[in-house]
Amino acid sequence: MKYIFLIFLPLIIICFFSNNNVKAQWVLADTITNYKSTDYITTPNSIAIDNENTIHIVWQKKDVETNENSWRIYYAKKPANGNWSHPIPISDTLYRSGYASIAVNEKIQKIFITYVKVYDNFRSEIVLAIQNSNLSWQKINIVNDSLQNSQPTISIDNDNIVHITWLGMDSLYIHQIKYCNYNNKIWKVNTLEDNFFGDLYYATPSLSISPKGCINILYLNVINGKPRNVHAKICTDKWEYELLNESINAQGILKISKSGRFNYIYNFTKDFQFPFKVYYTYKDNEDWTEPELISNNFDGYCTSYDVDNNNKIHMMLDSLVWAFKAGTIYYATNKSGIWNISKVSQESNMYFSSFKLNKNGIGHVIASYEEYPNPTDLFHFESQDNLISINNNFTNYIDSYNLFQNYPNPFNSSTIIKFELPVSQFVEIKVFDNLGKLVSKLANKVFPYGINNVNFVSSDLPSGVYFYSINTKNFSTTKKLIILK
């Protein structure tokens, strides 16, 4: 019976995807590496894209020919209209795979890579590598634990603070989720209180920062042999914990959009048996929505996803031919209101894809190409279409502040004042007369990401020149308006 299933599994996958309304078209843009068959690339790799649409990636490479335990972390980039740079080794030689994550800070023009520096089976460090504007690299040892650390994830907030979370060990059998941030050259390391016993060292915690600056970590936890996904959050000085679901034997991924929506995708498998089922749920306030089933009877899982400014999901699904052998990569999105799935790779031996949208809505995928039994190269796929547009009505990314001229102006009794925010945040809008006296306070609250507006009614004010100002944590400006009666 098992062999009959394996024979018909490719047909099942083809039938499943042929029933979806597919529009996205993908091309193999580049072969990033061209290693010898004796070389070995392990994953996950990590991708980041800056405001100039330059792609930055990081991965790991093992040279079997040189030394069985010879690993290194590598970095490369590709400008929007250029070619891939020559791979640069970031780490020293590692005893085994070190797991790396990358982030780009636009404001101070730096690249951050965090990875695990492994010495032997029990000793390792968490390292942060920083590339400055002069292209030099600075390496900082964050944690020098005596036992294993693995799977670091990195993020940068609006105040340029670096945040890292990882899976650590305080004793041989006790795993812990650890978190630290880097501000003014001082590392603050926390161990989350919700410790757990287990051997799920491969479960990468996901890290996301809300528009209000709260740190959110999603991780896999095992209590009394029962796995569960836990959401930990800290906004001031105390961690809060939320149990999302139980009996989930695979790590979920949490991402918070610019509007503040919490998005949660998880791969469900009972007792780690095939096939997988991929689910999506979200919350804007307190309650999570009923999970949506994205795939059913599909031997694959979600490896990464991105959220656009319309709160629509764009994800990668890696199919499995059998067990963990590589298969085909698929793209799934709910931008039309229903889930549509299309094939990214024509090859049937791709896996561990990493995905990111650029500011123009073009999707980029980095994936490992497996030449059995070892994966040997990295491929770059690119969408031919703008993935964010809905019915050809593209909503541009908003990545800066703006206060618009009020309309109408001059005006008699009322006018509209519009302003633009790159993230959801607290906003004050005030109106002053030409002597600087405050005559009206129009806003004093948190506004969502995007274009917002307030109404100014001037029925009690005489004709004349007035000034209106906007103040946020990172932006302030003033414009002139005229009341004419």
- Looking at the structure, do residues 371 and 428 belong to the same domain, yes or no? no
Residue 397 forms part of a structural domain: no
- Looking at the structure, do residues 305 and 430 belong to the same domain, yes or no? no
The predicted structure's pLDDT at residue 39: 64
- Looking at the structure, do residues 114 and 54 belong to the same domain, yes or no? yes
Domain boundary among 383, 411, 441: 383
pLDDT digits (tens, 9 = 90+) for 243-279: 887 666 666 899 999 889 999 998 877 665 656 788 8
* pLDDT band for position 12 (cuts 50, 70, 90): very low
* Mean pLDDT, all residues of the chain: 79
Residue 396 forms part of a structural domain: no
The predicted structure's pLDDT at residue 336: 76
Residue 80 forms part of a structural domain: yes
Which range is most confident: 19-33, 58-72, 285-299?
A: 285-299
The predicted structure's pLDDT at residue 351: 73
- Looking at the structure, do residues 368 and 411 belong to the same domain, yes or no? no
Based on the structure, what is the number of domains in the chain?
Answer: 2
List the CATH number of the domain containing 467.
Answer: 2.60.40.1930
- Provide the β-strand partners of residue 110: 105
- Looking at the structure, do residues 135 and 173 belong to the same domain, yes or no? yes
- Looking at the structure, do residues 140 and 209 belong to the same domain, yes or no? yes
Averaged pLDDT for residues 131-147: 76
- Looking at the structure, do residues 458 and 349 belong to the same domain, yes or no? no
* pLDDT band for position 1 (cuts 50, 70, 90): very low
pLDDT at residue 375 greater than cutoff 70:
no
Residue 1 forms part of a structural domain: no
pLDDT digits (tens, 9 = 90+) for 177-221: 888 887 666 677 777 765 554 544 456 788 999 988 899 999 887
- Looking at the structure, do residues 260 and 128 belong to the same domain, yes or no? yes
Residue 362 forms part of a structural domain: yes
| Domain extent at residue 421 | 402-483
Peptide bond into 422 cis (omega under 30): no
Residue 37 forms part of a structural domain: yes
Our CA angle for 148, 255, 399, nearest 5°, is 120
Residue 15 forms part of a structural domain: no
Residue 285 forms part of a structural domain: yes
List the CATH number of the domain containing 245.
Answer: 2.120.10.10
- Looking at the structure, do residues 333 and 452 belong to the same domain, yes or no? no
- Looking at the structure, do residues 370 and 436 belong to the same domain, yes or no? no
pLDDT digits (tens, 9 = 90+) for 336-355: 778 888 888 876 777 778 99
- Selection from 292, 238, 286 nearest residue 260 by Cα: 286
> Which pTM value belongs to this model?
0.74
The predicted structure's pLDDT at residue 6: 34
Higher pLDDT, 118 or 461: 461
Domain boundary among 383, 418, 446: 383
- Looking at the structure, do residues 165 and 297 belong to the same domain, yes or no? yes
- Looking at the structure, do residues 154 and 70 belong to the same domain, yes or no? yes
Which of 7-16, 150-159, 186-195, 289-298 has the least mean pLDDT?
Answer: 7-16
